[in-house]
Amino acid sequence: MTAVAPSVTTGPIRGSHKAYLEGPDGLRVPVHRIELSTGEHHDV
């Protein structure tokens, strides 16, 4: 069995863009919005 070293992505993620979630009192929380092949999105 061969060990695999984990890698860290530090650049942009293909198919994603920066978005903001709106919170109370005008609070905006930045997230990466990843567009899925189903037409939906996932915020991280």
- Please name the helix (run of DSSP H) or strand (run of DSSP E) that holds residue 43, with its range, or none: strand 41-43
Does residue 42 belong to any structural domain of this protein?
yes
Segments forming the whole domain that contains residue 19: 15-44
Domain count, the chain: 1
3-state secondary structure of 39: coil
pTM: 0.60
Does residue 7 sit within a domain?
Answer: no
The rounded distance, in Å, linking the Cα atoms of 20 and 7 is 27
pLDDT at 13: 75
Within-domain flag for 37: yes
Reported as a single tens digit per residue, the pLDDT across 1-44 is 778 887 877 777 778 899 999 999 999 999 999 999 999 999 98
Residue 3 lies in a domain: no
Q: Is 39 left (phi over 0), alpha (psi -120 to 50) or beta?
A: left
